[in-house]
Amino acid sequence: MKYMLLIYASTTDEPECSVSDWQDYEKAMRDAGVLVSGHSLQDLVTATIVQVDADGRRTVTDGPFGESREVLGGYDVIDVGSLDEALDWAARCPGSRDGKVVVRPIADFGN
């Protein structure tokens, strides 16, 4: 089953993990054959919000946004046999030390 690991980082604390920690984690996922895809996101100030109102008018707003103590920093999609395995990979993620990792099953609509 596929799970998305949403990696949230603190905006107030200095990261405890190094680039090497992230590289080792990605290598471990690749070596285990569970990594489907994953990406880091650029800084929050590069984000853009699109909203469409009831009349179909589009509003585009540039970041940064209201104060937040955490920000979505990236994600990994993994393919593992169970939620327990997904939770194990989330716990190994360097981001779980600096922030938190939200584990969400990916919906399968038979496509």
d(CA 9, CA 32): 25
Burial class (CB within 10 angstroms; exposed 0-12, middle 13-18, buried 19+) of 42:
exposed
Residue (of 107, 99, 49) closest to 74 by Cα position = 99
SS3 state at 67: coil
Residue 66 has pLDDT above 70, yes or no: no
pLDDT of residue 9: 86
Tens-place pLDDT, residues 22-58: 999 999 999 999 999 999 988 877 888 888 999 999 9
Tens-place pLDDT, residues 71-107: 889 999 999 999 999 999 999 999 998 889 999 999 9
pLDDT of residue 61: 87
- Put the strands of the sheet holding 35-40 in their side by side order: 35-40, 70-79, 2-10, 99-105
pLDDT of residue 36: 97
pLDDT of residue 67: 63
pLDDT of residue 65: 64
Residue (of 20, 19, 38, 16) closest to 89 by Cα position = 38
d(CA 6, CA 38): 10
Q: What is the pTM of this model?
A: 0.83
